[in-house]
């Protein structure tokens, strides 16, 4: 098995919010080209080379070597990626889902991986969590499965407390636009 070089690749982020912005910063540090989708394209992270409106996510699929799913689960994003979308991707591309399992049609993903429509997947989220023992994803050599715990560290509780305090201060100061992690 050989590794690749991220610096020669294009990383596409579907959903350049807080998490997608951080992914953009990290991969750009390796020299990767970064492209992404955003609902509001008027504010874009400096590390993002090119931005598309959210409904133009297909452009990401056709250009990216790595597709990172970091958008929220909404009525519009549920089932966003299925067999038609995998057919748009390069056979050498890799799907990385750190958002929600329901954004990707898991059965279609398994078929795409089995038939070589895409090269691989790294998955932190699934339709059903934990991933059932009989899921075909466990047996595919081109899949990395993680236990949907990327958010938990020894500092998580402290960060939650700080965030709640900051949001409470913003709310009591009648500044709801300054609330972090607002649900729109």
Q: Which domain holds residue 175?
A: 152-184
Give the per-residue pLDDT at 1.
Answer: 56
Q: Which residues are catalytic?
A: 100, 129, 148
Report yes or no on 1 lying in a domain: no
* Average pLDDT of span 117-128: 96
CA atoms of 175 and 38, how far apart (whole Å): 24
Q: Are residues 99 and 115 in the same domain?
A: yes
Report yes or no on 182 lying in a domain: yes
Four-point Cα dihedral 105, 94, 17, 47, nearest 10 = -160
What pLDDT band is residue 90 in, cutting at 50, 70 and 90? Answer: very high
Coil, helix or strand for 36?
Answer: strand
Beta strands in the chain (DSSP E): 10-14, 33-38, 50-53, 66-69, 94-97, 120-123, 143-145
Q: Are residues 53 and 130 in the same domain?
A: yes
Give the per-residue pLDDT at 92.
Answer: 96
CA quadruple 104, 94, 112, 13: dihedral positive or negative?
positive
Report yes or no on 179 lying in a domain: yes
Total domain count for the chain?
2
pLDDT at 175 over 80: no
Statement: the pTM of the whole predicted model exceeds 0.75: yes
Report yes or no on 56 lying in a domain: yes
Q: Are residues 33 and 78 in the same domain?
A: yes
Q: What residues have CB less than 8 Å from 149, skipping those under 6 apart?
A: none
- Mean pLDDT over all residues of the chain? 93
Give the per-residue pLDDT at 183.
Answer: 56
Q: Are residues 177 and 126 in the same domain?
A: no
């Amino acid at each position: 098995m050989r590794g690749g070089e991220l610096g020669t690749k294009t990383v596409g982020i579907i959903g350049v919010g807080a998490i997608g912005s951080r992914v953009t910063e990290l991969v750009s540090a390796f020299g990767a080209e970064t492209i992404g989708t955003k609902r509001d394209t008027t504010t874009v992270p400096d590390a993002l080379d090119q931005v598309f409106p959210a409904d133009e996510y297909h452009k990401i699929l056709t250009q990216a070597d790595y597709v990172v799913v970091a958008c929220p689960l909404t009525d519009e994003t549920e089932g966003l990626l299925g067999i038609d979308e995998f057919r748009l991707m390069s056979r050498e591309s890799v799907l990385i889902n750190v958002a929600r399992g329901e954004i990707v049609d898991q059965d279609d993903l398994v078929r795409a991986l089995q038939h070589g429509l895409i090269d691989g997947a790294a998955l932190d989220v699934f339709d059903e969590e934990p991933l059932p023992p009989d899921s075909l994803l466990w047996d595919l050599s081109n899949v990395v499965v993680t236990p949907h715990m990327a958010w938990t560290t020894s500092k998580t509780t402290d960060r939650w407390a700080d965030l709640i305090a900051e949001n409470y201060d913003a709310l009591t100061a009648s500044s709801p636009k300054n609330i972090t992690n607002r649900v729109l």
